[in-house]
Structure 1
Amino acid sequence: MDREKITGLLMKEKYPGIHKNGKRMRRLVLTLLWLLIVGTVASYSGYQQQKEQAADVDINTEEAVKEIVKEIEKETTVQAQRTTRKFEDEPDQLYARSAVLLDGKSGRVLYGKEADTIRPMASTTKIMTCILALEFLKEHPDQIITVSKEAAAQPKVHLGMQEGEKYYLQDLLYSLMLESHNDSAVAVAEGVAGSVAQFAQMMNQKARALGCKNTHFITPNGLDAKDDTGIHATTARELALIMRYCMTQSEASGEFLTITGTRSYQFQDVDQKRNFSCRNHNAFLDMMEGAVSGKTGFTGDAGYCYVGAVIRDDRVFIVSLLACGWPGNKGYKWKDTMQLMQYGIEHYQYKETEPEKTEDLPCLAVLDGFDACRPYCSSVNVPLEIEENGQQTHILMRDGERIEKNVTIQEKKKAPVKKGMVMGNVSYELDGEEICSYKVTAGKTVPERTYGKILGVILEKASLY
C-alpha cells in the first residue's frame, strides 16, 4: 500500500477538525498509524509466503482505512470553516454543514454557511405541515380526522393510532409538534387535503409563494423520500424563511407559537377510549431566555436538523441547521444554535435608516418650459423633492455594515410638468438587498412655453409704461 496515501489521511489541512475531537479521534489516528506499520513490514518481507500475506494485509488495510476515513469525515465535517467571512468575529466553526441566522422581521440573512445548499430536512418539515393545518382550522375549527390504514402504518416515532379511530385535528397538532409523531403527520395531511399527495402539493405551493424555489416536499412528516422531481429537501435559508412565515406572517402565527411553545399536552380520541400525553422535545426552549419556538429532526440521510427562534428586545432571531451531526452527536445542534443566537444578540441592534428628505438633489431641466419671470429662457429648472411614503426604516444592523444609496433621476423633461410628477427614485440597500425606496417628484408645475404666453408677458410689461 502507498504509505504516502495513509499519511495524507492524517494531514490537518485535509481534515481541519482531526485534532479537535478528543480521545475518540486519537484512537482513530493511532489505529491508522498501526495499519501503516503493519503494511510497511509486510511489504518488505523477502519470502513468497510473506509476500502473499503482505498482499492480503494491503487489501485489508485499504478497506480499514476507508472505513476509518468515513468515520473521521463524520466527526470532522463539523469543523469546516466558511470560505468567506464578512466580519472577523462571525462564527467560523459550526458542526452543521448548512446553517443560517435570519432576522425574523425583515427576512434578511445575518449569517450563512452553505445557506443555499439543498439537503434533506427530516422532521423540521412538520412546521409547514402544522401551519397549513392551522390555517385550515381557521375555517374548520372542529375538524375530526378518521385514521387511515396508511397513517396507522407509519414507523416510529409514532402516536400509535389505530385504523378507524377518530381524533380532533387540533389535538393531533400537539402530537405532531411536541413528540414529532409520524402517524399524526399523515393523519393531519389526509384530514386537510384528502391524501398525502394532495397535501404535498399544498406544501409545495406555499413554499413557492414564500419564494422557496429550492424546497421540495414529498411527505408531511419529513421521512426520507424521493420522487420524479427529486428528494424531499430544502436549504437552510429557505427553512428559516418558512419558519419566519409560521411565526410572523401567517394568519395562524399566534396558534403556531402557542403549540410549539407548549411544554406538555394531554388529550383523548373523540370516543374518549384512549388517553395520550405529549412532552415537548425542543430542549432549546429552556436553554436561552426568549426562546419561543422550534422543531427538531433526524433521519439517516438528513442527520440532525433544527429550526428555532428567539425573541429578545423586539428582535426576532431564527436559526436553521441542516446535517448537524449523526448518532453520537445529538447535542451538536444545541451548541450551534446557542452560538448563532448569541452572535446575533450581541452584534445586531435596530437602527433608524430614514434618509434626510432635504438632502441635495439636482434640479430637473424642463425643456420648452414657461416661467413668467424669465419668459425668454427655453429651459426652466425645477426643484425635486423626496416623497414621504411611510416605509419602515427600522432595520437590524451591526457595526461595520453600511447602507448604500442609489439615486436614479430624470435630468431633463419636456414641458409641461405638473407638481408631484414622478421623476425618479432614491433607494437604500443593505448587503445587496433593498430596504426602502422613495419617489422623487417635481416640486412645482411648469407649463409649456408658447408664443402666446411670451406675447402676453410683453404686452403686460408694455402697459406699465
Structure 2
Amino acid sequence: MLYALSGTLLGAYATESSLDPQRNRSGIQLGAVKAAIVELENGETLYSKHSDWITPIASITKLMTALIVMQGPQDLEEWVVIPTPDRETSKNAYSRIRIGSQLKRRDLLRLALMSSENLAAYTLAASYPGGVTAFVDKMNSTAKALGMNNTHFVDASGLSVGNVSTAADLVKLVQAVSRYGNIREYSTTPRYTAYFRKPRYSLGYGNTNRLVHRQSWDIELSKTGYITEAGRCLVLLSKFEGREVAMVLLDAFGKHTPIGDAGRVKRWLATGNSGTVAGAALQYEMNKAKEYPN
C-alpha cells in the first residue's frame, strides 16, 4: 500500500548531539523502516530515518486517545458503561471485557495504554461528549494544533489502516503527552488488575512492552502497536545519562525487532555502535522501502 508523502524525503541521517559528542554518527543500524530519536528537553534530533514517510501507526494511536481524555472535561473517576463495539473493533480485536459492565475511566485509559486494550480505547471515545465522531474530530484538531501536519485519525484504537502519521510527527505527540503524569504512569504499568462492576469481576493485564519489566531500563512513557499494514511499532521515552530521549520506531519485522531496535539505540548512545540487525528484518525493511517513491 502506498501513502502520499509531503516535503522532501530525508532518508536516514544522524546529527551531532550533546549526549555524547564522541559517538560514532555512522554506527547505528535499525530494523524499523521509519524512526526518529530525539532528546526531548531541547528537541535535538539524534538520529532520523525516513522520519517524514507517512505510514499506518496502529495502536500508537492510543497516545493521542490518552491526550484527548486528559484534556477533556470528563472525570477520570467516573464509572463508564462498556458499549457494544463498532464493526471495526468487534471484527479485528478480541476483548475479555464484558459488554454492559462498568469500569472507571482512569482504568479504561490505563488498559488502553499499557495493554493496548482496543475495547477500552473505543469505550473512551464512545463515552466522550458527542461520541466517537466528536472524539475523532478532536484527535485531528489536536494533531493540527501540535503541528502534526502529516497525521490523520479515523478511530481511537488504531485498528484502522486510516490512522496514519510520521515518526517526526509522533515525536511532537510524545512531547505533548509526556507532560501528563497519568499517561506516563499508565503506559509504563507492568501489570494491573482491573475491577469491574455490574457485574463484579476482575481481569489481570500485562504491559505489551516487555522492556518496562527490566530494571536495566528507565522507561517513562511507552506504547506498542501492530496491524499488518503498520508492521511492529514502538514508541518510548527513556532516560540516558539523566536526559530524556524519545524513540519512535515504526514498521518493523516481527515482534522482537522493535525491542531489539530500542536496545540498539541504547547501545549506540552509550558506545557509538548499535550492533547489527537480523537478516530477515533487514530484508523486510528493503521490501517496505520500495513502496515509497524515491
* TM range, smaller chain: 0.7 to 0.9
Aligned residue type for 2:208? H
Q: How far has the Cα of 1:292 moved from its partner?
A: 2.2
Bigger shift: residues 87-96 or 331-340? 87-96
1:302 aligned onto 2:237? no
Structure 1, residues 268-293: CA drift from partner, whole Å, max 9, x if none? 22335221111112112245432222
Which runs of 5 or more residues in structure 1 are unaligned? 1-81, 226-230, 348-465
> Contact 1:101/1:341 (CA < 8 Å) preserved in 2?
no
Cα distance change, pair 335–192 in 1 and its aligned pair in 2 (3 A): same
Pick from 223, 236, 250 the counterpart of residue 322 of structure 1. 250
Structure-2 separation of matches of 1:278 and 1:317? 27
Aligned residue type for 1:150? P
After superposition, where does 1:381-420 map in structure 2 within 5 Å?
none
Structure 1, residues 25-63: CA drift from partner, whole Å, max 9, x if none? xxxxxxxxxxxxxxxxxxxxxxxxxxxxxxxxxxxxxxx
Cα distance change, pair 191–300 in 1 and its aligned pair in 2 (3 A): same
> Contact 1:151/1:184 (CA < 8 Å) preserved in 2?
no
1:334 aligned onto 2:259? yes
1:275 aligned onto 2:206? no
Q: CA RMSD in A?
A: 2.3
Cα distance change, pair 269–151 in 1 and its aligned pair in 2 (3 A): farther
Structure-2 separation of matches of 1:109 and 1:83? 12
Structure-2 separation of matches of 1:156 and 1:127? 20
Name the counterpart of 2:176: 245
Aligned residue type for 2:48? G
Name the counterpart of 2:212: 285
| Large movers: runs of 4+ above 4 Å | 82-88
Structure 1, residues 167-210: CA drift from partner, whole Å, max 9, x if none? 21111112211221111111011112432221111111111111
Aligned residue type for 1:216? H
> Contact 2:143/2:149 (CA < 8 Å) preserved in 1?
yes
1:127 aligned onto 2:91? no
Q: How far has the Cα of 1:321 moved from its partner?
A: 1.1
Count of residue correspondences = 253
Structure 1, residues 106-129: CA drift from partner, whole Å, max 9, x if none? 233221000111001111111111
1:145 aligned onto 2:145? no
Q: Return the structure number with greater relative CO, CA threshold 8 A, min gap 6.
A: 2
TM-score by length of 1: 0.51
Q: How far has the Cα of 1:151 moved from its partner?
A: 5.2
Aligned residue type for 2:167? A
TM-score by length of 2: 0.78
Task: State percent identity of aligned pairs.
Answer: 24
Name the counterpart of 2:240: 312
Which runs of 5 or more residues in structure 2 are unaligned? 1-10, 17-23, 273-294
Structure 1, residues 350-379: CA drift from partner, whole Å, max 9, x if none? xxxxxxxxxxxxxxxxxxxxxxxxxxxxxx
Structure-1 separation of matches of 2:266 and 2:142? 27
> Contact 2:226/2:232 (CA < 8 Å) preserved in 1?
yes
Cα distance change, pair 207–91 in 1 and its aligned pair in 2 (3 A): farther
Structure 1, residues 370-393: CA drift from partner, whole Å, max 9, x if none? xxxxxxxxxxxxxxxxxxxxxxxx
Structure 1, residues 391-446: CA drift from partner, whole Å, max 9, x if none? xxxxxxxxxxxxxxxxxxxxxxxxxxxxxxxxxxxxxxxxxxxxxxxxxxxxxxxx
Structure-2 separation of matches of 1:91 and 1:181? 37
Q: How far has the Cα of 1:320 moved from its partner?
A: 0.4
Name the counterpart of 1:100: 36
The 3-state SS of whatever aligns with 2:157 is: coil
The 3-state SS of whatever aligns with 2:85 is: helix
